[in-house]
Structure 1
Amino acid sequence: MSSLYPRSDLSSNSLSSLLQSVLSDLEINNLAHDTKLVVRSRLFDPAVFIYTVIGILNRDKEFTLRNIHYEYTCNMLKKGKESLSWEPFYDFLDKKQMPVFLKSLCDRLNEISINEVLSDTKELVDALRLKLPNLTDLLIQDGSEIACNCREYKGKFEDANEAKLHRTLSLSSFTELCSSITSGVASERKEISLYKLENRLLLADAGYPSKKLFPKIAHAKGYYLIKLKSGSALEVVSYNQYNTDGTVTEFKNVKTRFNTYYKIKDEFFNKKCTFDFEVLTAEGSIQRIVAVYNEALDKHVYFATNIPKDTLDAIQIGELYRARWQVEISFRILKGFCSLKKCNTRKSGIVQALIYLSQIVYLLKLIIGQQLQKAADTTFSPKKQVNRIKCHFMDIIELALDSAERLKSYIERHLELFKTYTKSAPSFTNRMRGKSIRHIIEVVSKTPRMPKNA
């Protein structure tokens, strides 16, 4: 049989070494001490605690302190250790420091993911680098609400409380670059980390963005492709029209009978074709706005970008934005397969702990799934590798922390099963909807269409 990890060095980068570097008793105890998770560490075992809470989420059990205590007691007895009754367990565990502890663990796992995870989306970043040589990464940003009973997190309705997780993902590694937790009514654009955008392209849905956002991103030496809610009252200085016959026509200084510039929202541009506008901002600068005609919705979809026209044309801009669907997939995975669901608690610390713990489970499954891909010499879809290893998840973690040889034997016994998790080819509908990264790469790799003067 070929090597278990044919694409990596088994002695240094094996799954066992990766998990032990983060989840070993020594690492967890040191992290718990640094973050002051436990009041009296002599009687509380942080390593058993983290194994317990990960198992609770993997089995979709409700994330409450009572459930944690029950599972913790069972795991302590299995290891032959003395357990704690409810009152000392509740007193020794610092609830306010729990999210700090889990956030630190999440950050460590994310560092491993950046180096170890094999991402299909990296090919898209490489394709864009051929057109934008100084580009280093492609970032996608979005937020999603989580229902809770904590009054600190206000929802969209008076009788509802919601926390909101904002995530910025890197498509070169399909890992999280940064995240934040706010109330459900918080603005998306306020969570954009401008200082991390240098030589990076940001794909985001900012709704009704502030006019100051685009100059700030440009000043940070970053690129942006941001979806707008609708056409605006900005004046059109020039535009390219993408005709149904495949040609592109350029128009300059087209004015109304009152000698004023047309505005994007005017009836003049209500045509069933795609437009590439150059508009005049309030500061007197030129802004590129792309209006892509969507035949299914029979309306235009608007994007603001600072990518040059000779780099990507309007059609390519519309296709590239479809890559933002990957962040929606990550939220679906978190909510569907990592138990990021409603949290019935009034404590903000428990809500934050659940969110961070869901991301820890997601990252662990991602790392394990990618290592299994190496073993099976195949490719999994993100959903498959997170969902289908669920029944193997806790066994793999336990074996990885116990013995690398036992883990190797376990994976070899189930290798044929793991090969059945192979990623299937996307359907035609999914390719057209942009759910196929391969289709997006094909479109953006083409030479942009140049206009003919009218």
Structure 2
Amino acid sequence: MARRQSIGIRRELTSLIPTRQLNFLAQLSGLVRRRRKVEAMALFWTVVLGFSGGRARSLAGLRRAYQKSTGTTLVPSAFYDRFTKSLAAFFRFVVEELLERMQESEAKFSGLLRSFRDVVVTDSTLVKLHDLLEGRFPACRTNHTRAAAKLHVVMSVKGQGPRSVKLTSGRQHDGPVFRVGRWVRDRLLMFDLGYFRYQLFDCIDRNGGFFISRLKENANPEITATLRQWRGRSVPLVGERLRDVIERLQRDTLDVEVEITFRHRAYAGAQSGARRSLRLVGVKNDDTGRYHLYVTNLPPERLTAEQVARAYAGRWQIELLFKEMKSHYRLADLPSRKPHIVEALLYATLVTLVVSRRLLRAVRQALRRQKRVVPEGRWAALFATVSSAILDLLLAPARLARGLARWTEAMLLHEAVDPNLSRQMLLARVENGATW
């Protein structure tokens, strides 16, 4: 008889963050001071996994999920009174603990990105809040949204999850939130235009890291060298400004060195200017005839112009992560005008994401011999469907939990597999150069 495949859901999640550590963080945050009807660990897992009931996340729905999974009956006030500032602090501590525990993945890149220690993508997403939270979380455009939170995430592509997070108001600009240090060495960082700053790129380069960013529309650097030779009567580029010649180019790719000027951060009231050379890459879009332009410090022998554009497509991973949290884990469902409840639910969604990715890794390991693909998007929809069952087996007595685990694990292993055998995931397409 074939051996039944097992994920070990309970084992995976209790090893991700042990109950002893959760109890310590609950005491540290002030969530637990005396024994109460609503048990802290059951509340934690309910807020993390009890979101799937109903069309939108609500405190009433979470209370019903708590009662169902624990077999208790509560008056609404006994449950709602636990949503305090201490609960928000508790979930913030848990997120910090999880990010610290998520050590660098042992996975390795196998293709285009194999020479990098990791690929790091950063971006932010806005979450609309109740208008009465405008004082704490002012939005950037108050003509249609008065209050909004902004979640800034730095994501490890290799680890398939967040490496750091920060919660600010919607009015906070992206650039100043991101910090560079020695940790960037041998890593490839990719940005959208919200982070475009020559000072940032210079700092990454000085710390031994690499970057790729889209070029701003108003940037017009001087071309100082061509890095690819073209046959025939090609348009001379050296000494020209980019915007003066780009409309006359017929070539499919542009690969040149440019000189940029910028100002260093002010020290002791003085601010000095600086110049440096960067590589500018352009790849023409066949449909529009216009170039997609990128700046990078990667040398041509490391990645060709076409490979730079292909690698940048991997930045879409973080957009998919935000979509996963909003579409499946109810990131945008924040049913409260109280800031501490909003913060607790935002941080709880991040915990949900980490829990989901931990079980995704376990499912992929269980299926690795079959060489079947488990896409993140398909997994997220499945995880959201069975999250209440996972909550039940975590809170049930051991005897009942075994039966629940058998059914839940069998369903996950059966439904997670992509039926399209030829479909590649985004990272695989980036690494292998597959057509889009």
Same fold (TM over 0.5): yes
State the SS of the aligned residue for 2:138.
Answer: coil
Distance 1:296 1:95, change over 3 A: farther
Instruction: Give secondary structure in 2 for the equivalent of 1:343.
Output: coil
For the pair 1:162 / 2:152, whether they are aligned, the reply is no
Question: 101-110 or 356-365: which moved more?
Answer: 101-110
Instruction: Measure how far apart 1:105 and its partner are.
Output: 2.3
Residue by residue over 1:226-266, the C-alpha shift from the partner in whole angstroms, topping out at 9 and shown as x without a partner, is 122326221111124586xxx799998x45xxxxx211111
CA 1:274–1:242: 2 relative to 1, 3 Å: farther
Q: What secondary structure is seen at the aligned counterpart in 2 of 1:307?
A: coil
Aligned equivalents of 1:156, 1:427: Cα separation in 2: 43
Who is 2:393 aligned against? 399
User: Equivalents in 2 of 1:96, 1:242: separation in Å?
Assistant: 62
Give per-residue Cα distances to partners, 1:316-357, cap 9 Å, x unaligned.
100000011111111111011101114243322222222211
* Contiguous gaps of at least 5 residues in structure 2: 262-273
Do 1:5 and 1:374's aligned partners in 2 also have CA atoms closer than 8 Å?
A: no
Q: How does 1:144-223 map to 2 (within 5 A)?
A: 144-149=125-130, 150-151=133-134, 152-159=136-143, 160=145, 161-195=147-181, 196-207=183-194, 209-223=196-210
Q: 1:249 to 1:370 in 2, by over 3 A?
A: farther
Structure 1 contact 103–356 (Cα < 8 Å) conserved: yes
Q: 1:270–1:191: structure 2 CA closer, same or farther, 3 Å change rule?
A: farther
1:356 matches 2:337: no
SS of the residue 1:180 aligns to: strand
Query: Shift of residue 170 of structure 1?
Result: 0.8
Q: Which moved more, 1:400-409 or 1:298-307?
A: 400-409
Aligned to 2:270: none
Residues 81-134 of structure 1 deviation map (CA, whole Å, 9 limit, x = unaligned):
xx5661x6555x36223222112223444566657x89xxx55x343565x4xx
What is the CA-CA distance between 1:40 and the residue it aligns to? 4.1
Measured in 1, the distance between the counterparts of 2:195 and 2:384 equals: 40
Percentage of pairs with the same residue: 20
Matched, 1:329 2:320: yes
Q: Secondary structure at the match of 1:276?
A: strand
Is 2:140 the counterpart of 1:140? no
Question: In structure 2, what is the equivalent of residue 291 of structure 1?
Answer: 282
C-alpha RMSD of matched pairs (Å):
3.5
- Tell me if the contact between 1:163 and 1:181 (Cα under 8 Å) persists in the aligned partners: yes
Amino acid corresponding to residue 95 of structure 1 in structure 2:
T
Distance 1:89 1:396 in 2: 21
Counterpart contact for 2:112–2:307, Cα < 8 Å: no
SS in structure 1 of the partner of residue 359 of structure 2: helix
Per mean C-alpha deviation after superposition, the further-off stretch among 99-108 and 140-149 is 99-108
Cα shift readout 1:39-71 (whole Å, capped 9, x = no counterpart): 544454111211332344232564455554565
Residue number among 397, 406, 421 corresponding to 2:416 in the alignment:
421
Alpha-carbon distance in structure 2 between the residues aligned to 1:47 and 1:409: 22
Question: 2:18 aligned with 1:16, yes or no?
Answer: no
Q: Does 1:438 align with 2:433?
A: no
1:233 matched to which residue of 2?
220
Answer yes or no: is 1:31 the counterpart of 2:18: no
Q: 1:399 deviation in Å?
A: 2.5
Gaps of 5+ in 1: 256-260, 445-454
Does the CA-based 8 Å contact 2:193-2:214 persist in structure 1? yes
Equivalent residue, structure 2, for 1:449: none
Among 310, 323, 326, the alignment partner of 1:319 is 310
Counterpart-to-counterpart distance in 1, 2:366 and 2:398: 14
Q: Cα distance, 1:141 vs. partner?
A: 1.2
In structure 2, relative to structure 1, the CA distance for the partners of 1:417 and 1:346 (3 Å cut) is: closer
Mapped to 2, the partners of 1:56 and 1:265 lie a distance apart of: 54
Q: Give the Cα separation in 2 of the matches to 1:197 and 1:62.
A: 39
The 1:157/1:314 distance shift into structure 2, 3 A limit, reads same
Q: How far apart in 2 are the matches of 1:439 and 1:70?
A: 43
Alignment partner of 1:311: what SS?
coil
1:410-443 deviations in whole A, cap 9, x for unaligned?
A: 5555637733431255989xx8xxx632232123
Residue aligning to 2:89: 100
Following superposition, the deviation at residue 194 of structure 1 comes to 0.7
Evaluate the alpha carbon distance shift between residue 407 and residue 346 of structure 1 in structure 2; reply closer, same or farther with a 3 A threshold. Answer: closer
Q: Which residue does the alignment assign to 1:276?
A: 255
Question: Is the CA contact (8 Å cut-off) linking 1:207 and 1:228 kept in structure 2?
Answer: no
